[in-house]
Each structure stands twice: as C-alpha cells, then as structure tokens.
Amino acid sequence: DTLWDLAIAEVEKRENPDDDDKRVEVWEKSVLFMGNKNGGKTTIILRCLEREEIPKPTLALEYTFGRRARRHNTPKDVAHFWELGGGTSLLDLIRIPITSNNIRSSAVVLVLDLSKPNELWTTMEKLLQVTRNHVNKILSKLEKTNPEVATEIKQRIRNNLQRDHPDYELVDPFPVPLVIIGTKYDIFHEFDSEMRKIISKTLRFVSHYYGASLVFTSKSEALLLKARVLINHLAFGYEKSKSVSLDHSKPLFIPAGLDSLSQIGPPPASDSDIGKMRANTPLELWKKVFEKTFPPKSFCDLQNTKDPAEDLQYAEYEVDVMRAQKKQELEQYRRNASKSWKEMDFDSD
C-alpha cells in the first residue's frame, strides 16, 4: 500500500469505529487444568504463558490469565487458566471455573503423571467422571432454558470426529473440549518397553473414546512446545495441528479425531484373559486390562491433604505469631465458657 492508501484507511477507521469493532470478535476462553499432584500442571501453564517463574505447589484452585492478539492492531483475546490442586481431593471446586455462563467457551486439560502408572487410571477416572457429571447437569438445565445452546455444544463436540470416520458411532465424546497430557516422559521412557506399550495404548484408547487430544511431554522444550500447540488451540483458537506421532517408542502426539480403534488395536491382554473379564463397556474392559498390570494404589487424597497453615513453605513469622496468639485466646475462651456454663443456675421449673 502507498502512504496515501494507508491515510485513507486510517481516516475510514476513525470515522467508522463501530464497524471495525463489529468485524473483530474478541475470543474469550476458560481452561481448567487438573490431574496428579506434582504432575507438572503449573509448569505447563507457565510455559504456555511464556512466564519465566519457578513453579510453586498449587494450594487449592488457582487462577491466572493470558492475552494474545491474532493480528496487529486488533483487540487481544483472553484465556482464563484455572488450576485445580490436590489431585482428586478437591473435586467440589470444579463447579467454580465451569459454569452455565461460560460452558460454551470452557475446555479441560487433564495432566497425568506417566511415572506413576498405579495412580493413573484412578486419577483419570475420578477427575473426568466428576467433571462430566457437572457439565451434564449444566447442559440438562440449558436444554430447558436455552435448548439451542445445548444442542450447539453437543454438536460441536461431535464435530471433532468426521461423520465418515469408522468409529463415529463407537465413541462417547467428552462434553467439553479435552486435552490429555502425559508428563514426566523422561522417567517413563526408562520403563520396560512392554509397560510403556500398555500405558500408551490405554491412553490412546481413552483419548480417542472421549474425542480428546493426547500428548506426552517432559521438561524438554521441544516436548513442552507440542503441549503448547494443543493448549493454544483451546485457549486462543490457534490453528489445529495436523501432525501425528503414534509410535509407542516415542512421545505420543495425537490431535483429537486423528486416531482410530483399528490403529490402536485390542486391549493388551491374551484372548483367554479378556474372555474371563466381565465388562459392560469397552472403557471398562480397558480399565480391567490396565489394572491387572498396574493395580491401583489404595490411597486417600483427603488424608494426604495437609493443613496449609502447618506447611513450612507458607511460613510467615508475623502471621504465624498472631495465629498462635489467637489460637491461645480461643482455647482460653473455651475454658472460660465451659466453666461459666457449669456454674450457671437453672430454674427447676
């Protein structure tokens, strides 16, 4: 463009600001990160936002946001990033970042620690089940109050898989966009090859069944970049990646809709073992096969959740001194109240 052309465009923009605003729609998304304790959720968020900070343990539910401009001189899109701490112990907090007001723009990132296969299925199942139930309740209400929006959300999720895909009728898509990230690939890579194959095939099946994207990552910049590609697609509408890595001997990278049951193959177990397993759904069958190799640990996240006030990483001298003083005052009040109660004279009538 010549200088004259640019001047004309600038004058038109100033004279018709409303028209320009109408052409540029601001993108606003809400992404909930959840998964294993110490699984690397915070690290992934910081890398996505290009922040050079040292990750700190997530206490409960933490919030941050990122902004991106799609083009020069256009309003910046906003992505709200929520991080659920505590593994599976704080599930009630899921209702805060996912509401009826933002359900159309919500997405979920499930971060699973590949170095802890005995906790993998339990964590994945519990978090996805509670999230799905919560989203389905919202959709049920929308079907009564705003059926068009409810239908739009359900259809959009189905669109992740083309209608001519051979598995179109065999999968059960998650009600909001979902990305599954397997972290600590550097440790996972040292596992026995057969163990890696079972874990990889299982996560491929779960991801495909839920219409989710799947990526394995670690602290490596190259692998973190692949995770960023999928998250930026959810958060800022960046172009969806079409590259695929299905080789179990390498880090997996499978965008939603680009895998298939025929490529994944049957559950990694003998025909006789599969025949003995009682399962009502394909997902349940895969669970039984997986847990035969990796029995789930009998642990309770709630019992492991420490009182933050007793955690040394949150120590603050002035606050702790005041808290101890207030605690002492409370104990004194309880003793006095108890003593007063016992000394009270009640009328017999």
Domains with residue ranges and CATH for the chain: 25-293 (3.40.50.300)
The letter for the amino acid at 252 is L
Least confident of 25-29, 153-157, 221-225, 307-311: 307-311
Q: Is the pLDDT of residue 132 over 60?
A: yes
Sorting pLDDT into bands at 50, 70 and 90, what band is 310? low
Question: What is the share, in percent, of the chain residues with pLDDT greater than 90?
Answer: 45
Sorting pLDDT into bands at 50, 70 and 90, what band is 346? very low
Sorting pLDDT into bands at 50, 70 and 90, what band is 98? very high
Place of tokens 């996240």: 301
d(CA 70, CA 74): 7
d(CA 134, CA 92): 10
Q: Give residue-wise pLDDT tens across range 219-270.
A: 888 898 999 999 988 888 888 888 999 999 999 999 999 999 999 999 988 8
**Rounded-to-10 torsion of CA 337, 341, 343, 349:** 160
The rounded mean pLDDT for the chain is 84
Q: Are 229 and 47 in contact (CB under 8 A)?
A: no
Place of tokens 């296969």: 117
Q: Is the pTM of this model over 0.75?
A: yes
Q: Is the pLDDT of residue 75 over 60?
A: yes
Q: Which of 135, 124, 134, 97 is nearest to 39 (CA)?
A: 124
Sequence-distant (6+) residues with CB within 8 A of 287 are 121, 125, 279
Sheet holding 106-113, edge to edge: 61-68, 77-84, 28-35, 106-113, 178-183, 213-216, 253-254
d(CA 171, CA 257): 11
Place of tokens 């723009």: 105
Higher-pLDDT residue of 256, 77: 256
Q: Which of 53, 55, 107 is nearest to 81 (CA)?
A: 107
